A and B are shown apart, each in its own frame.
Chain A
Amino acid sequence: MRIVLLLSIILVSVAEAAEYAVVVARNSPIETLDSERLRDIFLRRRSFEGDVPLVPINLLGEEAVRTRFESQVLQMDRAQINQYWVTSHFQGIKPPATQASLQSIKTFIERVDGAIGYLPISMVDDSLKVLHEF
């Protein structure tokens, strides 16, 4: 019984552990962003952090990292997100640009001023700065 309980606790801990991170380039002046501001940036309600114009970047498709980002940071499911961007299309606002792979997101963030995206923590190295884990 104790072993089952211990295993359950371990499994729950693993399930809740942060696997992904919202990151910017190491040389970015941005130090911290709370989840509410992150949500506004990826919904394109906000475009700046201080004087820095931001360039949010999404992973193309419905990979696990994107789905988790949408549910935990944006707090929306795919239908709600689709509805939001259809409404925004009428207002002349496009969704963030996408990249086809996690590696291309990493390269994009390293090279483009103001770029902000999300990656597995395992891909974060000295070229990036972690703002938020999820």
Chain B
Amino acid sequence: MKLVESRVIGACMALCLLQSPVLAQDSSYEIGLGKSVNDWLTLGGYFSTEYEKSSDEHLLQLDDVAVMAYGEFNKRFSYLLELESVNAYVADFERDTRSSNFPPTIERLYFDYKHSDQLSVRAGKQITPVGYWNQQPINVLRETSSSPRFSREMVPKFLTGIDLHGFAPLGGDVTYHVYLQNSRDMDEDNINIKPESHYGFALAKQYGNGWQIGGSAGRFKEAVGSTSGTRTATRYWQLNSRFDNERYSLIAEGIVNTESAPGVGRARSKAVYVQGEYRYKPRHSLISRFEYFHDTGAAVPERIGILGYSFRPVFPVSLKFEYQWHQESSNNRFVSSFSVLF
């Protein structure tokens, strides 16, 4: 679908919903849960601001501003639309520049059909159902302001295609996804990788004691003219595990990519991160994360250590501070953010 067409469809859909008489109905509002107008329409959104200081960067930015609309047409059909402005305003104190980028892009636009608990179909632009971090990509839902390189560089964050998903017929609490993309992204602004095709599967299992495990495998081919400059095909194998209780959470994810491009040959890259969170008081937590990233094209692997603090007066409002130690010390930086889901 052409970019302009898809944006027009998204804008028309938002306009139709806003002009719907259902808005005349009254309902209560609770921060973080959106404004539920009726079954057809819930409105919400989020924003985040970020301050970053390192030896060669000094930025203050209105990082993300987004609005969402979603609802259920009946017990089986539903939809979600999300429009987002990325880097809506950036003040670069190091270079003494200011910039803004307000026109929103389509972050998500999909329709769901629930056939049964074992089979649902999602069609449209959606978050790729890989791992944990990728599926909670917005600042306010994360434990830290920054995201690991694992989530930024290894797999396309978004999928414009079809995802079949549900509880696996194996019994137990096992869920699956089988996903396929065979076109360019619906809106290629602000995506990390621009594939022209992508397919894969993911499995996850929850245990009653707070543990979850999962994994995925897939293949994507980058479109000509994407960031890499070549038509790279990448296979990936990914594993993830998570433990949560009232006081602690522990998350670990790892991935191996094998990339091949005409005339270039094969390369392999690996990324792992382990993150722990200690909620030492209600609303306050300390976070530490260790990341390892190794691209065979790079001379040395990168290691990053992060120590952070998070304060949430209520869960959908988050104030975070972190310091990052990089292998290359000139990349060390302080990052803080304030974010709200409404």
Contacts and interface: CB of A to CB of B under 8 A. Distances in A.
Contacts of A85: 32-33
Given A90-B136, A90-B341, A94-B42, A47 B282 contact: no
B315 A86 contact: yes
A90 B141 contact: yes
Contacts of B70: 92
A87 B75 CA distance: 21
B315 A82 contact: yes
Given A47-B114, A90-B141, A79 B42 contact: no
A53 B76 contact: yes
A92 B68 contact: yes
A89 B45 CA distance: 10
B34 interface: yes
Interface in B290-342: 314-316, 341
A92 B78 contact: yes
Contact of B316 (A47, A86, A114): A86
Interface in B107-144: 114, 116-117, 136, 138, 141
A12 to B, nearest CB: 26
B36 A94 contact: yes
Interface string A76-100: 0001101101110110101100000
B250 interface: no
B167 interface: yes
A87 B34 CA distance: 11
B117 A46 contact: yes
B75 A53 contact: yes
Contact of A90 (B36, B78, B138, B208): B138
Most buried by B among A36, A80, A89, A90: A90
Given A47-B117, A94-B42, A89 B282 contact: no
B30 to A, nearest CB: 9
Contacts of B80: 92
Nearest to A97: B39
Contact of B32 (A48, A53, A89): A89
B26 to A, nearest CB: 14
Nearest to B172: A36
Interface residues of A, number: 20
Contacts of A92: 42, 68, 70, 78-80
Interface in A91-134: 92, 94-95, 114
Contacts of B282: 79
Contacts of B33: 85-86, 89, 94-95
A89 B117 contact: no
Nearest to A84: B315
Nearest to A86: B32
A51 B117 CA distance: 10
A80 B210 CA distance: 13
Interface in B16-61: 32-34, 36, 42, 44, 46
Contact of B116 (A48, A80, A83, A86): A48
Interface string B71-92: 0000110111000000000000
B141 A87 contact: yes
Given A46-B167, A92-B68, A92-B78, A86 B114 contact: no
A35 to B, nearest CB: 10
A26 B140 CA distance: 44
A73 B144 CA distance: 32
B167 A89 contact: no
B315 A83 contact: yes
23 contacts: A36-B208, A46-B117, A47-B114, A47-B117, A48-B116, A51-B116, A55-B75, A82-B32, A82-B314, A82-B315, A85-B33, A86-B33, A86-B341, A89-B341, A90-B68, A90-B136, A90-B138, A90-B341, A92-B42, A92-B68, A94-B33, A94-B36, A95-B33
Given A79-B282, A82-B32, A114-B75, 15 more contacts: A36-B208, A46-B167, A47-B114, A48-B114, A48-B116, A48-B117, A83-B315, A85-B32, A86-B33, A87-B141, A89-B33, A89-B34, A90-B46, A90-B136, A92-B79
Interface of A: 36, 46-48, 51, 53, 55, 79-80, 82-83, 85-87, 89-90, 92, 94-95, 114
